[in-house]
Amino acid sequence: MAWLVVLDPIDGLAPKTDTSLALIDEARRQGIDVDTATIGDLFFERHAAVLATDNTNIKKEKRLGDYKLILMRKEPPYDLAFHYATHLLSLSGTLIANSATSLRNFNEKLIALPFKKYMPPTLVSSSAEIMYCLSPPQTNAGKPNSPPNSKIFESIASAISINFNDSSKEILSIRAKLNKIMATHTGQSIEKIEVDTDRDNFMSGNDSVEYGLIDKVLDSRKEVVSE
């Protein structure tokens, strides 16, 4: 039995926190042959195939259909490369987790929209004009208000010039601010928050209470009504 794990370049992953690496290590410990690949290693020539890397770091061309299971563990963004990769995976005829079809049809950012009655007021748009006109209540001066932790980005739509150095600094600044907020409200140290948020970190309800992310676990709807 052989598995293929499609993921980001392994040398950029954090061994202590990345669940994909943990899955690969455990599967190999149990005697399962696990190959790895990036979405750039997928291709089609007479059949859907991959230039896969085995546990000895040797690359070989293999049919996707020869694998018993394919794990799609590539992180967002969902761009065209990601989109085309899901189409190639769909041609494999192999069980894929997460389903390539579901990744295309149920975008992680938009999947909540059918459940609007459970959502706060929400606006989704790629148009700056729509975002401005339909933004939160405005002041007497006719300008939108802003929550305390929001970030305002100004650009000229007709000639946007992105300074990637400035953008990366802004991302790091936002991350540091979010980590500080989490540390304040959970009681965890900044250092622990930085490690725990470096990659996706899944917790049970009880673990979240102990960590300080939530107040308590609700066991029934009656508890929600009573509060």
* CA 114/CA 11 separation, integer angstroms: 38
Asked whether residue 78 is domain-assigned, the answer is yes
For range 208-226, the mean pLDDT: 74
Question: Across the strands, what pairs with 95?
Answer: 69
Task: Assign 77 a pLDDT band (cuts: 50, 70, 90).
Answer: confident
For range 5-19, the mean pLDDT: 91
* CA 33/CA 21 separation, integer angstroms: 14
94/145 same-domain check: no
pLDDT of residue 112: 87
Instruction: Please determine, for residue 10, whether its predicted confidence score (pLDDT) is greater than 70.
Output: yes
138/214 same-domain check: yes
Asked whether residue 115 is domain-assigned, the answer is no
63/130 same-domain check: no
* CA 148/CA 164 separation, integer angstroms: 25
> 18-52, pLDDT tens digit by residue?
999 999 999 999 999 999 999 999 999 999 999 99
* CA 187/CA 202 separation, integer angstroms: 18
Which helix (H) or strand (E) is 226 found in, with range? helix 221-226
> What range does the domain containing 136 cover?
123-226
Instruction: Please determine, for residue 219, whether its predicted confidence score (pLDDT) is greater than 80.
Output: no
101/127 same-domain check: no
Q: Is 71 helix (H, G, I), strand (E, B) or coil?
A: strand
pLDDT of residue 204: 82
Is the peptide bond prior to 77 cis by the omega test (within 30 degrees of 0)? yes
> 169-216, pLDDT tens digit by residue?
777 888 888 888 888 888 999 999 888 888 777 888 888 888 888 888
95/128 same-domain check: no
pLDDT of residue 158: 42
